[in-house]
Amino acid sequence: MTLDTYTVDNLLDQLRALGEPERCFNPYLDAHGRDSERRSANLRRYLLDMGDRQPDVLLLFEAPGYRGCRVSGIPVTSERIMLVEIEKWKLFGNGYQRVSKRSDGIAEMTATILWKALIEIADQPPLIWNTFPLHPFDPRKGELSNRTPMRREQRLGYPLIEQVIALFDLETIVGVGRTAQRALTDLRIHHIEARHPAQGGKADFVAAMQEIYGQ
């Protein structure tokens, strides 16, 4: 289906309404000022663009990383990827807003692996979403760190997962990593399992994408 601005803005309002639980950073919270506005605008543009493309596949990941979605606002998409148009699909680039001070944007390993594989394998880009849409960090290491969201945190994202699947009328749901797979099982949503590309999982992840896209 084609999404309208009202529907996407409602989704963004729900992300803001999650607030900022302890040991979490909400990339879309108004309290973060201009950076939050840019991240919200980036996610809005991405969702509207993907609504026009009518994707069949959802890749559900775990949570924003401190070098990825926390900066760009777009799930599993680094600022560096977002700022340059992917020629194959005419996706990203013009209209997306840089948040960091780096002219070429901040890169993230998981995002780099993901988008390189998708460009090589997929005919059309899948929709990408996170189980827990806020950035969970380890307070012992500071905000620029990552941690696995706790079960109670993960469950905060469940209603949004269901909404995203319904809004985009997605046919193939892929749980990337154990956190996403557990969430989809909890929600009784039929899904395909894929290994997360981080921590040595790149080859298995790429193989899963090849199988999903028939290569």
Whether the pLDDT of residue 215 is over 70: the answer is no
**What is the per-residue pLDDT across 143-153, written as a single tens digit (0 to 9) for each?**
999 999 999 99
Q: Which conformational region is residue 142 in: left (phi greater than 0), alpha (psi within -120 to 50 degrees), or beta? A: left
Give, for 48, the enclosing helix (H) or strand (E).
helix 33-53
- Is residue 3 very low, low, confident or very high in pLDDT (cuts 50, 70, 90)? confident
Strand segments (E) across 56-155: 57-61, 127-130, 135-136
Residue length, the chain?
215
Give the pLDDT band of residue 82 (cuts 50, 70, 90). Answer: very high
* CA gyration radius, the chain: 16
The CA distance from 190 to 173, in Å, is 7
Q: pLDDT tens across 84-111, in order?
A: 999 999 999 999 999 999 999 999 999 9
Segment 50-74, tens digit of pLDDT: 999 999 999 999 999 999 999 999 9
Q: Which of 137, 158, 133, 151 is nearest to 63 (CA)?
A: 133
Helix, strand or coil, per DSSP, at residue 119: helix
Tracing tokens 């309404």 back to the chain, one arrives at 17
Q: Which domains does the chain carry?
A: 5-212 (3.40.470.10)
Mean pLDDT of 201-214: 96
Q: Share the mean pLDDT of the chain.
A: 97
**pLDDT band for position 83 (50/70/90)?**
very high
| Distance, CA of 162 to CA of 153 (rounded, Å) | 16
Q: Is the pLDDT of residue 1 over 60?
A: no
pLDDT confidence bin for 199, thresholds 50/70/90: confident
